[in-house]
Structure 1
């Protein structure tokens, strides 16, 4: 049995992505605890399995002095509980979690990269801050886990003992299935017609997710007399601004901003395709969920998205901010139902390798 401490900046990361991973470790006879800033309700599945959660006051600002308090708390936890392994996620928690090696050199450190903040096309500031930081912290990292090809190739140049590439955090394919719900009934709830062509965008409403590119594309189609419906699931700091923009362009009958939703599978079932126009991604699970439901995806040609979307095979890749080509790809799928179904079928076949059970099985060896 190994004693393992999962460290994340916020506990919502654990709720969203890591519960199946922790459950597998416990099933295999390990003891797992979690250290994070507790910002939302702790999942009862984990507390029921005797997983202890320790509140550590991390903040996402790398220069905020409260992170030093968090680091001191981690030092106390390690001294008291004598963990064999710390598995760190998210940049801030990963920084201070790995620094435990300064005082506990025999401690094994595993770092899962959900997407380096430095990448092809990233702002110079990102490269100036995060690249030298990660290069330095590689000296305190025993195992580094990446989720996309670009991060994997870059991580291999760091001074890390072992570098792995895995298929993200995985997606529960049995939970995402178009046969679980009635498409017509869901469309009625959303005030959509049976013959509407419907797109779904699952994303936090922030600058990175780039809703503007989607809106611009829909406006181009609208001016051509092509009636497309979009439903957007997600909250965020730009939600009200985006809503006003949609109304100002006269697209409020075309685009629905639904806010936070807990019925994502139902929403996906109601749609024809998915779309994601991000500037930056690690390996987006929302695309995996769409593909699990046999939905092709139009995504920007960036790291993470192009690891999942094979252009012309299970969806289309478009350049960031190229609204015209985005509109053309949507129109192509509207006019070619056979292609739509083929891409959807290919997407479903492709994503089988990303099933959460397969991903977790592949991760077991990193704890040896």
Structure 2
């Protein structure tokens, strides 16, 4: 094995790395490191990583810890680690992170960092999650040189797992958001495309259409919200396994002013034409869509869960609503819908609150952590 400067990024799927970690890959490339990646190609976006000059290794990770393909993944990792030595290994996503940490330490690789983008054990999580994922992280503690967390609850769990503050436990402001990207000055024309009047209020919900994102919480209460003001539209952005079910619910319940946009790559423009942004998930780590909304200067209505409450201060830049608290959800939306001045005030607060989460600042935070574990 040669002694070239070499680092490895790992995630269950390439799409995770493409969506969140390109800036950190570039950071290490600029420092002269040859960057490798291990991930499952099934969810796409591998070509985006390859275009960066990264060496990609397809490993059959499964998102489920119960799949036999994970055993094959271990065998493939062992082969890779016998061939190459990595000065630093930065792992993401629970299953890939566990398997890579185990095999890396077994093969005496360099330092291993794990970014937890939201532990699967959390306040209110099913007992099964604690039994499986907390036990796994407790076991993996001895294979992990540094744990990076992105919200306060996970920081506390990191201490409980035995990581030590600023020695092996580090807090960063998520994966960062490029603030300039969301400073859209030109007309977005999204309202015009959807036939929404200039003075109507637009509520935007950007999230994968799955159970966790909890779109039904809003849809169940949509008729009551419209009773207070009928000039309100809900724009739902994203695709997913629940798309057909959600559209069926809207049709069967005769819900008005609901627009399904599917997958879009013009999120800054959509946010520019929005008045309120919402995310009502059951579980989050640190939601990127909320950070993007804050960078766009928008007020927010979110569920009072880990990650979302790290970004939204109740009554300052939006409202926190307890899960399934229908009355509070309706009241929060009505307050914002009927008070333009409040929307503007909270939107400005969002801009103020998002500053530490800028990509520039997060790159600086990550660089400081990297410098503790790798040779410059």
Per the alignment, residue 177 of structure 1 pairs with 183
Normalising by structure 2, report the TM-score: 0.93
- Distance in 1, Cα, partners of 2:115 & 2:92: 5
**Does structure 2 conserve the Cα–Cα contact (< 8 Å) formed by 1:2 and 1:85?**
no
**Does structure 2 conserve the Cα–Cα contact (< 8 Å) formed by 1:18 and 1:169?**
yes
Q: What is the aligned length? A: 364
> Which of the residues 117, 120, 125 maps onto 2:123?
120
Residues 249 and 224 of structure 1, relative CA distance in 2, 3 Å threshold: farther
> Which of the residues 182, 198, 204 maps onto 1:200?
204
Q: Within the alignment, does 1:166 sit opposite 2:172 as a pair?
A: yes
Q: Residue 102 of structure 1: CA displacement?
A: 4.2
User: Which 10-residue stretch deviates more, 25-34 or 301-310?
Assistant: 25-34
- Provide the aligned C-alpha RMSD in A: 1.4
Per the alignment, residue 28 of structure 1 pairs with 31
Q: Residue 222 of structure 1: CA displacement?
A: 2.5
Per the alignment, residue 254 of structure 1 pairs with 257
Q: Within the alignment, does 1:244 sit opposite 2:239 as a pair?
A: no
Normalising by structure 1, report the TM-score: 0.95
**Does structure 2 conserve the Cα–Cα contact (< 8 Å) formed by 1:235 and 1:260?**
yes
Per the alignment, residue 265 of structure 1 pairs with 268
**Does structure 2 conserve the Cα–Cα contact (< 8 Å) formed by 1:15 and 1:43?**
no
Unaligned runs of 5+ in 1: none
| Secondary structure class of the residue paired with 2:301 | strand
- Distance in 1, Cα, partners of 2:278 & 2:149: 24
**Does structure 2 conserve the Cα–Cα contact (< 8 Å) formed by 1:22 and 1:32?**
yes
Q: Deviations over 1:264-284 (max 9, x none)?
A: 111111110100000000000
Per the alignment, residue 214 of structure 1 pairs with 218
- Distance in 1, Cα, partners of 2:129 & 2:64: 13
- Distance in 2, Cα, partners of 1:332 & 1:105: 58
> Which of the residues 299, 304, 316 maps onto 1:313?
316
Q: Deviations over 1:176-223 (max 9, x none)?
A: 1232x314x221012211111100000111111000111123221234
Q: Residue 103 of structure 1: CA displacement?
A: 2.0
| Secondary structure class of the residue paired with 1:53 | strand
Aligned runs of 1:279-298 on 2, under 5 Å?
279-298=282-301
Unaligned runs of 5+ in 2: 372-376
- Distance in 2, Cα, partners of 1:42 & 1:307: 31
